[in-house]
Structures are given as C-alpha cells and as structure tokens.
Structure 1
Amino acid sequence: MAYTQSLAQVKDRLQIHSILARQCLAEFLGVFVLTLLIQGTLAQAVTSGGTKGNFFIMFLASSLGVRLAIYISGNVSGAHLNPAFSLVMCLLGCLPWVKFPIYSLVQLLSAFCASGAVYALYHDALQNYTGGNLTVTGPKETASIFVTYPAPYLSLSNGFLDQVLGTWMLTVGILAILDARNKGVPARVEPVVVGLLILAIRLSMGASCGFPINPAWDLDPRLFTYMAGWGPEVFSAGNGWW
C-alpha cells in the first residue's frame, strides 16, 4: 500500500500541470516526429543515389508522418504542427493570440532539433556519399535533405502562387475535415484523412517547390544546415534534389 502511494506521489511530482507547458511539449514532439520521418526518408533516398527511395515513397512518408504526429499531439495541443496553421487558428478565434508566438517558437525549435537528429543519424552516410564535401548544388548536393529548394525554372511570382495555393488547400482541407457540419469523418480517423490530404497535395503540387508550406520545415532546418557546414548558400540556392 505504501509502495503504491509512493509511486502515485512520484507520478504526481513528475506530471506537468501547466496546460500551456503540456501543449508546447505536444507540439514539440509532434513536429519532431514529423520532421524526423520526412527528412529521414529524404536522407535515405539521397545518400543511396535514389536506390532506396523515390518521390512517391517520400510523399507517402510525409503522409504517414503527419498522421502519427496528429495522434501524438492532437488531444493536447490540437496538433497545429505548422506556424501558418496556428496563425489561421488565431484568425478564426480557435487559438488565443498570446499563444501564437509560443506555438511558433516551439515548432521552429523542434524542427531545428529534428534536423540535428537526422544529421547525426545519417552522418556516416552523408560523409560516404559526399566525401565530406557538403554542398547545396551539384550532382552530390545534400542540402535538399533538410530544406526544400525551388526548381531552377521557377519564377518568384510562380513560386509565390505555389505556396499560397498549397497553404490554402491544406487549410481548407483540414477545416473541412474537422467541421462537424459537413458529412463528417469517423472519430479517431481524422489523422488518417489529414494524412491522405497531405499525400494528395504533395502528389499534385510538390514538383516546383517541394511542398515547403510549413515555415517550421523550412526556416530552422535551413539555419541548421548553415551551421552544420553547408554554408550561406543554403539561403540563396535555387535548385536541389527536387
């Protein structure tokens, strides 16, 4: 009896009682898992010269990653996983504005940490594939593992349209899935349907920019590659494995 009480006391002391802290932890874990799976799939494909992955496999991994991330964080933070979506939730009155910078910062920090984890996991593969020469362009470039780059032919205006339309499709799709006034999605199946939405958007809009509609997937991973040895070109290069 005393042992059970002691365990209960330890559990109570270790439990995070702050709702905001739990929400931040949920967002961190969700973005971390999502980024880890997406970048891990890319790392496997790139460092194997395309023999252990292709575009469809990468798109499928992102779909499954979103699904898992929602299951991890959905009931705690709402599984925003994206500063752009957090902004939409604020505009719709579903998230207090005071939480927007906090959610965004946590999401960005998580993506940075996940990039570091992928780099550590595939360090030897990267060294073997590149011979230790980490580049952003060229036949052995590896920066696109962590960050998406526009195709060489893409203009600024077309890239802007690509991102606006992709983000719009993602937001409208998620809101439609979650709207109880629509036909509705069976309980606990929403993450699966959102994952399929991601897959559909990536298959139809992923060629020009690589689908970087989440600032958390782009800004901090780009900063990580700059710090990890790819250099300042990560902020200016216009092509990659995509």
Structure 2
Amino acid sequence: MAGANVSTRAGWRATLWGELSAEFLGTFVLISFGDGVVAMAVAALNQSGRGEQIFAASGDWLLIAFGWGLAVTFGIYVAGGISGAHLNPAVTLALAAKRNFPWAKVLPYTLAQIAGAFAGAALVFFNYRDAIASFERVRGITRGMLGGPADSTATFGIFATAPAPYYGAAYAGPLIDQIIGTMFLVLIIFALTDTRNQPPKANIAPFIVGLVVAAIGISFGANAGYAINPARDFGPRLFAWTAGWGEVALPGANYYFWIPIVGPLIGGLCGAVIYDFFIRDVLAARGAVPTEDLETEGQTAKQDPVSSVDESKVSVNVKSVKS
C-alpha cells in the first residue's frame, strides 16, 4: 500500500516527463547564464560605467568563454541526477548512436532542450531589455535590420550565433568549424564518462565539462561563435525572431540558421566514433574493467569488460553520462 501511495504521488515525475522537465530546466539554466554573459559583454558593461577597462576587446571574449563554461557546469549539476543532463541534441544523438540511449527519447529530449533554451533567452531579454534598447539607440541599430549601417546582427548575437565576416556567404567554413568544435566536446565527454578510462568522480565531472566548453570557445570560437549545440542556438534564435529580430534570426543571413543545427549533430557523431575507435575499443581489447564493477560484495567482478555496464543513460554524472 505504501508503495502504491508513493507511486501515486510521484505521478508524471516518475515517467519520461520527469526526465524532460530536468532537460528543460538544465538547458534553461545553461542559456540564462550563457546568453546572460553575452548580454553583459555586448550591451550592458560598456554602458553601465563598470568594467570598461577590465573587459575590452579580447577580454570580452574571455568573459564570454568562461561564462559559458560555468553555464554548462551549472546546467549539468541541476539536471544530471535525473536525465544525465544532456542539454544538447548533439550529445543525445551521440548517446543514442553509441551508448544505447533509447532512440524513442531522442526527439522528446531535443524538444525539451529547445524549449528550455527558448525560455532562457526570454529571461535574458527581459532582464537586459533596457540595456539592449539603449545600445541599439546609441549605435543607430534598427532591430530586425539585416545589412547596412543599421544592421542588428550585433544585438542578435546576444542570443544566437553568426559566422565571422571573412566567410562571406560561404557555408563550408562555418559548417566545418561546428563539426570540429562539437567533435571535441563529445569526444571528451565520452572520455570523462568512460568507466574504463579513469573517469573523474561525479561531483567534479560537470566542472571539467564546463572547462572543455570554455577551452573550445577560446580555441575555436571566433569563426562561428561555437554554438556546438543545436538547442543552444535554435531555441534563442527562435525567441529572437519573435522579439523583433525577424529575418536576422530566421532564416538568418544567407539562410545560416541550419549550420548550427547540422554541424553539431555531425560533429557529435564524429566525436563518439573517434573516441570509441581510438580509446574505448582499445581498452576493451586490453581487458580493462569498468571501475564500478571492480568490486561486487567484496569480490572482484568477473564480468565481460564490454557488456557489464548499462550505458543506456550516459551522463557526466557517472551513474549515467552527461552530454
């Protein structure tokens, strides 16, 4: 009877909806802090009388890179215990392809992530709407204008990404950039969560993933803004479209919107395949045993090194595997 009461009280929280709520909130936290730091660097600090000398030029980029790194860390800590804190469709897809994550959950997770990203962008806009409007007024920017002296790409960039001007109308460079950045993200996430490969403890892994994102921003960020996450870009892009940026957001200059979606999905799969080929399969061939199986009731586990771990939920939370 007690068990039935617990089940009744749990309701939707014990179903897939509970996992989706975690993905929504985790991604909401990610975008709130991530887009928030960009709003600080672009529109707020230079008008607030604070930090003009400290955060200037390349300093703004460091502020943004480390702000996004912390944003990822916080999002993972929020959602990791429930869903594994994917927070990124590229990670969800890679886990489905290579770690037995249920394919039936890929689309629901993706939609929850996009919804959380949309909500996070809305919060940032609400909080910084006066700073953004002032920045546009001072710079002669017309929101929604694409090209010309009143171009609004600068303020749109608070929410989503755009390619560097040196790419012109070309797609290949930004697409390759997104593939490379996301390849490194997923490759390192798989390394951090591989119980055969000296994984960090669950309470430190989210921090390391945040450092990985900061490093990608510092090393690969200038070309296309290192979206490396379809939800991170499309959710805020969709919000910006509704908030007045119009064609600057969707479809974007030269229909750019699809690059931060397709590139990360390809890159995530590449990272998963590369890690498994060069590391995971080598560890299995050498007889490496997952750390969680080293002891079972005081006895050394006599289990197959490949099949002994249930990786249907992979997250940086080590009991699953973050994405």
- Does the alignment pair 1:143 with 2:156? yes
Contact 2:142 2:151 in 1 (8 A): no
Q: Quick one: structure 1 residues 185 and 230, their matched pair in 2 at CA, closer, same or farther if it must change by over 3 Å?
A: same
The CA distance in 1 between the partners of 2:121 and 2:202, in whole Å, is 33
- Does the alignment pair 1:95 with 2:109? no
The CA distance in 1 between the partners of 2:26 and 2:84, in whole Å, is 10
Name the residue aligned to 1:81. Answer: 87
Listed as ranges, the matches of 1:93-172 within 5 Å are 93-131=99-137, 133-135=142-144, 141-154=154-167, 155-172=170-187
Q: Number of aligned pairs?
A: 230
Moved more, 116-125 or 47-56: 47-56
Give the 3-state SS of the residue equivalent to 1:81 in structure 2.
coil
Contact 2:44 2:128 in 1 (8 A): no
Amino acid at match of 1:113: A
The CA distance in 2 between the partners of 1:143 and 1:120, in whole Å, is 14
The CA distance in 1 between the partners of 2:41 and 2:213, in whole Å, is 20
In the TM superposition, residue 205 of structure 1 has moved relative to its aligned partner by 0.4
Listed as ranges, the matches of 1:1-242 within 5 Å are 13=9, 16-48=12-44, 50=46, 51=52, 53=55, 54-131=60-137, 133-135=142-144, 141-154=154-167, 155-234=170-249, 235-237=251-253
Amino acid at match of 1:174: I
Instruction: Show structure 1 runs of 5+ residues with no match.
Output: 1-8
The CA distance in 1 between the partners of 2:39 and 2:111, in whole Å, is 25
Contact 2:117 2:235 in 1 (8 A): yes
Give the 3-state SS of the residue equivalent to 2:166 in structure 1.
coil
TM-score where L is the length of structure 2: 0.66
Q: Quick one: structure 1 residues 17 and 37, their matched pair in 2 at CA, closer, same or farther if it must change by over 3 Å?
A: closer
In the TM superposition, residue 228 of structure 1 has moved relative to its aligned partner by 0.7
In the TM superposition, residue 193 of structure 1 has moved relative to its aligned partner by 1.0
What is the aligned-residue identity percentage? 37
Moved more, 230-239 or 182-191: 230-239
